[in-house]
Structure 1
Amino acid sequence: MKTFLKILVGIIILVALYALIAIFAFDKKNHFERSVVINAPKEKVWQHLGSLKEYNVWDPFSKADKDIVITYSGAGDKVGDSYHWKGNNQVGEGEHAISELVPNEKMITKLHFIKPFEGDAVATFTLTPEGNGTKVTWAMDNELNTLMKIMKPMMDRNMTTMFDQGLADLKKVSEQ
């Protein structure tokens, strides 16, 4: 029993130490990005990327809840167009709006998360020629609060999975 308690106390101390290190070592500003090369011209890729309605066809986050409710404001392909989503606990609730568009090259969107955690982020999609195809880079920038700093390694793993899945789905629909 004493050995078990020593191990338990040791684990608690390590967790607390990690939390302190994470709080002070991880920058408040967070940048995450993933890329894929799609075997299609950027004009064809843009058909699936340059509109919020098309984005939701391959977006892995909205697919995580088959009963998600998405309400669009505008056609989804102009600056200022947006949508509001409300889903289960995994998907949460929030708003997604286009803030900048350069057709066939770049789309910048603002995300406002309402549930399960309040927060804001900026997503950037950039298309650049690569050989006979198109390189798509999906980046997200946000600020981390104290709890998010502690959870950053878990968040990065989850973001890697979701971004890779989304980019693979974008590649699939763009190459058809």
Structure 2
Amino acid sequence: MKTLLKIIGGILLLFVVYAVIAILAFSKKNHFEKSVVINAPKDKVWQHVGSLKEYNVWDPFSKADKDIVITYSGAGDKVGDSYHWKGNDKVGEGEQSVAEMVPNEKLVTKLHFIEPFEGDAVANFILTPEGSGTKVTWSIDNELNPMMKIMKPMVDRNMNTMFDQGLGDLKKLAEK
């Protein structure tokens, strides 16, 4: 029994040490990005990136709940257009709005997360020529609270999976 308590105590101590190091070491500013080269011209790729409604066709986050409720304000392809989503525990609730747009080149959106955690982020979609195709770079910038700093490795793994899935689905759509 003493050995089991020592093991449990050691695990708890390691977690506390990790938590303190994570809170102190990880920056409050968080940036995550992934890119993919799509074998299609920029204008064809833009059809799937330059509209919030088209974005939600390949967006992996909204696909995590087949019963998600999305309500649009505007057509989704102009500065100020937005949508509100409400879904299960995986998807949560929030809003995304178009903050800046340069057709066939750049879309900047602002995200406001309501549940499960309150927070704000900025997402960028940048399209650049790459050989005979188009390179799409998808990034997200946000601030991490102390709890999110502790969970950062898990969050980064999840973001990597979701961005890979989303960019893969975008590539399939745009190359049709």
Q: Same fold (TM over 0.5)?
A: yes
1:127 to partner: Cα distance = 0.4
1:146 corresponds to which residue?
146
Q: Could you say which residue in structure 2 is the equivalent of 1:165?
A: 165
Question: How far 1:2 sits from its partner (Å)?
Answer: 1.7
Amino acid paired to 2:133: G
- Mark the runs of 5 or more structure 1 residues left unpaired by the alignment: none
Deviation for aligned residue 1:5 = 1.2
C-alpha displacement of 1:58: 0.2
User: 1:7 & 1:153 partners in 2: Cα distance?
Assistant: 24
Instruction: Provide the rounded CA distance (Å) in 1 between the counterparts of 2:42 and 2:154.
Output: 33
> Which position in structure 2 is the counterpart of 1:29?
29
Q: For 2:28 and 2:104, locate their aligned partners in 1 and report how far apart those are by CA, in whole Å.
A: 32
Q: Cα deviation per residue 1:30-70 (whole Å; 9 max; x = unaligned)? A: 00000000000111000000000000000000000000000
1:83 counterpart residue number? 83
The one-letter amino acid of 1:133's match is G
Percent of paired sites with the same residue: 79
CA distance in 1, matches of 2:104, 2:4: 60
Query: Which ranges in structure 2 are unaligned for 5 or more consecutive residues?
Result: none
CA deviation string 1:69-115 (max 9, x = no partner) = 00000000000000000000100000000000000000000000000
SS of 1:111's equivalent in the other structure is: strand
Provide the TM-score with structure 1 as the length reference: 0.99
1:40 aligns with 2:40: yes
The corresponding residue for 1:65 is 65
Instruction: After TM superposition, give the deviation of residue 3 of structure 1 in Å.
Output: 1.5
Report how many residues are paired. Answer: 176
* TM-score between both structures, scaled by the size of structure 2: 0.99
Residue 79 of structure 1 aligns to a residue in which SS?
Answer: coil
